[in-house]
């Protein structure tokens, strides 16, 4: 019961403290909302571009061609080739990757090696370009020299580890 009241009690306590100090609560809220809109204004063009690129990749069937091209490499490192489109979409879009994961699980079954691999990959990797664009856009960082390669390397390690964990367990 007390946990359900914790958020309203914190808000009430902070508001009461601000009133006792003579602070303008509504003005502070409005300034915070303005700052949020400024951040949104900076990141929306990047997000729209990412969503358009993802849609074009999916609709052009380029992901299917990529899966066939990478099948021998994926066989060597233990990743099912059917997961190849997920490896491309996941760094760009979490919802796109989730939709692709649902499609793969519906096609191959949730308890299949592919279904389990997809589930672990979705949970162990990040939407790299989305996260970098939002964080760097909000912070005003324009040079992402080492951020993208490091993050994509971490994603690739997550993919390999996910496939290995599913095989071993």
User: Which pTM value belongs to this model?
Assistant: 0.65
pLDDT computed for residue 121 by the predictor: 92
All residues at 6 or more sequence positions from 78 whose CB lies less than 8 Å from its CB, including other chains: 160, 163, 164, 167
pLDDT computed for residue 118 by the predictor: 93
Distance (Å, rounded) from C-alpha 50 to C-alpha 44? 10
Number of domains within the chain: 1
150: Cα separation from own chain's centroid = 16
Q: Is residue 6 part of a domain?
A: no
pLDDT computed for residue 119 by the predictor: 93
* Residues of the chain predicted below pLDDT 70: 1
pLDDT computed for residue 1 by the predictor: 63
Range of the domain at 42: 34-168
Q: Is residue 79 part of a domain?
A: yes
Distance (Å, rounded) from C-alpha 33 to C-alpha 27? 10
Q: Is residue 29 part of a domain?
A: no
Q: Is residue 73 part of a domain?
A: yes
């Amino acid at each position: 019961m007390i946990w359900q009241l914790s958020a309203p009690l914190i808000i009430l306590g902070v508001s009461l403290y601000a009133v006792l100090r003579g602070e303008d609560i509504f003005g502070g809220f409005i300034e915070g909302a303005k700052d949020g809109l400024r951040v949104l204004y900076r990141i929306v063009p990047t997000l729209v571009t990412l969503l358009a690129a993802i849609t074009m990749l999916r609709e052009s069937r380029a992901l299917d061609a990529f899966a066939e091209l990478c099948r021998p490499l994926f066989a060597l490192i233990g990743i099912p080739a059917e997961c190849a489109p997920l490896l491309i979409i996941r760094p760009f879009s979490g919802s796109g990757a989730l939709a692709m994961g649902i499609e793969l699980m519906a096609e191959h079954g949730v308890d299949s090696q592919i279904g389990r691999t997809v589930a672990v990959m979705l949970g162990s990797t990040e939407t790299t370009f989305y996260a970098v664009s939002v964080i760097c856009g909000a912070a005003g960082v324009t040079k992402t020299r080492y951020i993208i390669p490091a993050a994509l390397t971490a994603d690739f390690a997550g993919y390999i580890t996910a496939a290995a964990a599913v095989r071993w367990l």
